[in-house]
Chain A
Amino acid sequence: MSPLAFTIAHTLTKIFLRDRQTIIFSLLFPVIFMVVFGFVGNQDQDPIKLGIVNNAPGSLSDDFIEILETNPLFSVSEGDETSMRQALISGRMTLVLTLPAEFQETDSSVELGLLVDAAQVQQLNLIMPVLEQSLLAVERQLRNSEALFTLTIEDVQSRSQRYLDFLIPGLLAFTLMQISIAGSGFNIVEYRRKGILKRLFVTPLQPGDFISGIVMSRIILCIMQISVLLGIAVFFLDVIVLGSYLSLFVIIFLGAIIFLCIGFLLGSLAKTQQSIQAIGNLVIFPQIFLSGIFYPIESLPNFMQPLATVLPLSFVANALREIANNGAGLMEIPVDMVGILVWVAISFVAATRFFVWKEVAA
């Protein structure tokens, strides 16, 4: 690498920065994503829509319903059985509770009927304990009895982990991959197609200087773009970064190298702008779903997990998440660090080995 590489890097940075449209569009998707999830995550849980069919009008059932109504977990409405069944089927109700005619006295046990929609059975597993708890509380209140046990809940994690906190590091890693692969691969194909590469290499320019130059300028640009996203997350969405920003940017830097090199490799394999789009998607899409960006890798089927964990995006996303969410230092994530460094080596060798500038592949 010679000083010429820096001249190239400087010139290319100028070119890329002047392309405002591309910069803005590359950030638009992740920003929208972050903001949407920011709002979703901040919203309170919707109350469970509970319908009540009261077959035992009287003071006891009135008290019972009143107590349920004061519980913020439920939004209670009353009606007759047929209309409630209809409401349940159409999804306007989540649960329908039937108070039988013998619901009159407090000293005998009565059976309450519960209608559910089987399609929401998964949600039911979460709701049932809550409902039973609530019924128990209602019972105690009506009987004026003291609870035998009370539970004091203490959160050992000193901060609440929102989905957004989980999502943001992965989203940064994903955006890093997107802009890096587009930045190197798509550019190379474009330059080759337009004959710009040919024009450059008819001068005494060495390929090494050119590649170093484009990598440097792209890294600068990637770091700027990721910083913008991180800034939005931290200042507007209250995402907390527990670890050091330096560690975070070391991972971003290494990740940029991996994905830029992968981009160069794809740019050398693809002959046209269309084929680089297709090949690029082939590399990008599986990683979106397999690399634990939107949900943890552990939630994938068991047989896919070993493959998923060794993808470059998995290492980068996991490292960023460990640093941001759990305050890990670089030394505390040895598996991710080794994974990332191995991918840096693999992608760099592959990119330089296969780099094609000479001829527009026919």
Chain B
Amino acid sequence: MPIIQVCKLVKRYPRPGNKAELFEAVSDVSLQIEAGEIYGILGPNGAGKTTTLEMLEGLTDIDGGEAYIDGHCVNSKPYDVKKIIGVQLQANEYFDNLSLRELITLFGSLYRRQIDPLEMLSRVHLTEKADARPASLSGGQKQRFSIACALVNDPKVLFLDEPTTGLDPQAKRNLWNLVRELNRTGMTIVLTTHNMEEAESLCQRIAIMDHGKVIAEDTPGRLIQQHAPEPPQAPLHGSLEDVFLVLTGHGLRD
């Protein structure tokens, strides 16, 4: 039984330039994500990855289709869903003038939980920054702190929206290790990414989205076998990036 079931999800927005006309930013997206999986959603900019996540998180109204997380209907009971998910958004700014310790406590109280901020920070290796302000953190530390905030309610599902965008290679690898650590505790993790290496090494299964639709879904290995361009110069080393470009084309996206 999948922990996340998404069935023909639709989101419509007014078309930029012609507000009267609607277009489907997310079009009939169906996904089944198993408990304990690290699931990646790949796609060029504007493919609908973030919109899909935001519908699952209850941040954006669902215009069509249905979604269930751990048996709770996202459409009708968004507050039940919010209680069992953890979310790291692309924008990771927080209130100025509060320390990490105070912010974690605040987020705990939003779930009506008393939590030990230091314990939460130690899970993301930020204990020594407990009294720092978020503005003083490096990019990688900020992302780890965002994840700590997303863990305060012991979520069953953790959503990460482009967690490694803008990080240097060290910080990136450090974050991958953190994601693996969390996954080992049984947490289901759904992440979006542009980074093929990340998807390949981290995700057990991936979906590739383009123009609001899922155009391929499988394990990274099988996607490479099926879609890597022929003739492969080094058959066993065809990369997921090649697959991505074959599927979504070479045109530049904004």
**A356 shortest CB reach to chain B, Å:** 13
**A272 shortest CB reach to chain B, Å:** 15
Known: A15-B95, A203-B111, A205-B110. A198 touches B83 (CB 8 A): no
Within 8 Å CB of B112, what residues of A?
4
Q: B23 on the interface (CB 8 Å rule)? A: no
Q: B59 on the interface (CB 8 Å rule)? A: yes
B110 touches A198 (CB 8 A): no
Within 8 Å CB of A36, what residues of B?
none
B93 touches A194 (CB 8 A): yes
**B46 shortest CB reach to chain A, Å:** 13
A198 touches B98 (CB 8 A): no
B79 touches A204 (CB 8 A): yes
**B26 shortest CB reach to chain A, Å:** 14
Smallest Cβ-Cβ distance to A206: which chain B residue: B79
Contact-size category for B: 20 to 34
B106 touches A198 (CB 8 A): no
B89 touches A14 (CB 8 A): no
Q: B58 on the interface (CB 8 Å rule)? A: yes
Within 8 Å CB of B98, what residues of A?
11, 14-15
- With most chain B CB atoms within 10 A of its CB, the pick from A15, A18, A200, A203 is A203
**A187 shortest CB reach to chain B, Å:** 10
- With most chain A CB atoms within 10 A of its CB, the pick from B94, B106, B111, B149 is B106
Q: A353 on the interface (CB 8 Å rule)? A: no
Q: Scan A170-196; emit 1 where CB is below 8 A from any B CB, else 0.
A: 000000000000000000000000111
Once the chains are docked, how many angstroms separate the CA of A85 from the CA of B78? 84
**B144 shortest CB reach to chain A, Å:** 16
Q: A199 on the interface (CB 8 Å rule)? A: yes
Known: A7-B109, A203-B111, A359-B60. A19 touches B97 (CB 8 A): yes
Smallest Cβ-Cβ distance to B80: which chain A residue: A204
Within 8 Å CB of A199, what residues of B?
87, 89, 91, 94, 149
Q: A245 on the interface (CB 8 Å rule)? A: no
Q: A202 on the interface (CB 8 Å rule)? A: yes
B59 touches A358 (CB 8 A): yes
Once the chains are docked, how many angstroms separate the CA of A62 from the CA of B33? 109
Once the chains are docked, how many angstroms separate the CA of A126 from the CA of B143? 72
Once the chains are docked, how many angstroms separate the CA of A194 from the CA of B92? 8
A15 touches B97 (CB 8 A): yes
Known: A19-B96, A204-B83. A11 touches B102 (CB 8 A): yes
Q: Scan A242-253; emit 1 where CB is below 8 A from any B CB, else 0.
A: 000000000000
The A5-59 residues at the B interface (CB cut-off 8 A) are: 7, 11, 14-15, 18-19
Within 8 Å CB of A15, what residues of B?
95-98
Within 8 Å CB of A204, what residues of B?
79, 82-83, 110-111
Which single member of B59, B61, B92 contacts A202 (CB below 8 Å)?
A: B59
Once the chains are docked, how many angstroms separate the CA of A200 from the CA of B223? 37
Within 8 Å CB of B82, what residues of A?
202-204
Known: A4-B110, A11-B102. A202 touches B58 (CB 8 A): yes
Within 8 Å CB of A203, what residues of B?
82, 107, 110-111, 153
Q: Scan B90-121; emit 1 where CB is below 8 A from any A CB, else 0.
A: 11111111100010001101111000000000
Once the chains are docked, how many angstroms separate the CA of A212 from the CA of B95? 18
Q: Scan A43-82; emit 1 where CB is below 8 A from any B CB, else 0.
A: 0000000000000000000000000000000000000000
B96 touches A202 (CB 8 A): no
Smallest Cβ-Cβ distance to B84: which chain A residue: A204
- With most chain A CB atoms within 10 A of its CB, the pick from B13, B93, B95 is B95
The B128-143 residues at the A interface (CB cut-off 8 A) are: none
Q: Scan A107-123; emit 1 where CB is below 8 A from any B CB, else 0.
A: 00000000000000000
- With most chain A CB atoms within 10 A of its CB, the pick from B57, B60, B92, B110 is B110
Interface residue ranges, A against B (CB under 8 Å): 4, 7, 11, 14-15, 18-19, 194-196, 198-205, 358-359, 362
Cross-chain pairs A/B with CB under 8 angstroms, 21 sampled: A4-B112, A11-B98, A15-B95, A18-B97, A19-B97, A194-B93, A195-B89, A195-B90, A195-B91, A196-B93, A199-B89, A199-B91, A199-B94, A202-B59, A202-B82, A202-B87, A203-B110, A203-B153, A204-B111, A359-B59, A362-B13
